[in-house]
Each structure stands twice: as structure tokens, then as C-alpha cells.
Structure 1
Amino acid sequence: MINFTDSVGAGDPFAADLLRGHTDTIVLGVLRGADRYGFEIYKAIRDATGGQYEIKEATLYASFRRLSRDGLVEGYWGDESQGGRRKYYRITDAGRAVYRRDVTAWRATQRIINTLLDLEEDPR
């Protein structure tokens, strides 16, 4: 489950649904910069949005399972030199290609929605 809070109010279900459909792409985007373990990914997403968007642990790990199954990320165990053993995730070349495709699709969708919303606001 994704928690979402915006300036309008907490738990806006429409905004949460929009974000929920892009969880895998968001995770791929975070992994483009560096390999990370689960809590690092959670923090990166939370911090990038000023705490407005947080992915629940179950949602994040379901995303890891889908992305791993589809060959878009690879998991590996880190060493124990910094405390407990952590599972890290890295994006694959296929994951980078899917990320680029998804971002292109999002931008096209965003243009269409923006156009339609602007038409609705037209006072004519």
C-alpha cells in the first residue's frame, strides 16, 4: 500500500492510484544512479518528495519480485562489513530500456491529460 499526502489532503485516492501504477518505474528510476538495498530505495523516494510519497515495505518488495522475475533488476547479497547482511538491487540493461520506454509513455500521457484538463478549464 502506498501512503500519499499532498497539499490538498492526506490519502487522496486518485493521486495514490496514479502513483501506484508507476511503482516499478519509480524503483527503476532510483536504481539508475546506483545499486541500493530496500531501505535506501524507500528513503530515496521519501526524501525526493519531501515525505509526501512513501512506499510500504510490502509494496516495495512486491515490486522487487516483479522486476527480478522480468529480468529488469538483479538482487545480490552485500557483505556484512556495515552491520547486517543486506540484499542490494541493480538495474539491468533491460531495466534501463523499460525505464526509458515507461518515461516516454508517461510524458505522452501527461501531454494528453494536460491538454484535456486545459480544455475543461476553458471558460467557453
Structure 2
Amino acid sequence: MISSDVIRGYNDTMILSLLLDGESYGYEISKRIRTLSEEKYIMKETTLYSAFTRLEKNGFIDSFFMDETFGKRRTYYRITPLGRAYYREKCEEWTLTQEVVSKFIREL
């Protein structure tokens, strides 16, 4: 399992990446992160919803309600054009981060 401290700076990137595929809701996004990471990273619910709040406040995502079965409303999220630009910046940052950190990783 990956420490949340190690990956914290990239939670937004993971969420935005999934929203590039289309609108989605919290539980589905959480499940996809768990599945794609092969259970190596499980984003806590509080972390996920804090990220949604931050991303929406910064204009990177929009939220809206849709009715689900039995009349219950579910909050969906979609990426904005500003969110796509931010995602590209974070991907470039990740590439640079990998390049730098890899210089300090050695076999023992």
C-alpha cells in the first residue's frame, strides 16, 4: 500500500485524469482509483471530497446533480477547460519529479 503522504500532491491529478474520460461521481471515482492502482492506493473519502471542494473552488471541475434510482440525488463532477490546463501542468510536473527523484533511487 502506498503512503498517502507520498502521493498527496497527485490526488487532484488522478481525479482529473479520470474526469477526462467523462463525468462521474465520488464513489465511482474512488472505486476506479482503487482498481487502477491494483489496490495499492485507496483514497480516503475525506481526502476525495476535500479534493472535489478544492478543485471546484479553483474552477478545475464543475459539480451538478442527477437523479438516481429511488429518487436519490447524486453529485456528479466534470472537468473544465481550466481543469484540463491544470492537469497538463501537473503531468509536466510529474515528469520532472520522476526525473529528479530517480537520480537518488539506487539498488542496495
Decide which of 89, 100, 103 is 1:115's aligned counterpart.
103
Amino acid at match of 1:108: L
Match of 1:62 in 2: 50
Of the candidates 75, 83, 88, which is equivalent to residue 95 of structure 1?
83
Q: Give SS of 2:78's match.
A: strand
**Is 1:105 the counterpart of 2:58 in the alignment?**
no
Q: How does 1:1-124 map to 2 (within 5 A)?
A: 5=1, 15-80=3-68, 82-83=69-70, 84-118=72-106
Give the TM-score normalised by the residue count of structure 2.
Answer: 0.90
Higher RCO (CA 8 Å, separation ≥ 6 residues): 2
Give % identity.
39
Q: Which moved more, 1:38-47 or 1:106-115?
A: 106-115
Distance 2:4 2:53 in 1: 21
Which residue identity lines up with residue 116 of structure 1 in the other structure?
F
Which runs of no fewer than 5 residues in structure 1 stay unpaired? Answer: 7-14
Give the TM-score of the pair, scaled to structure 1. Answer: 0.79
Distance apart, 1:85 and its partner CA: 1.3
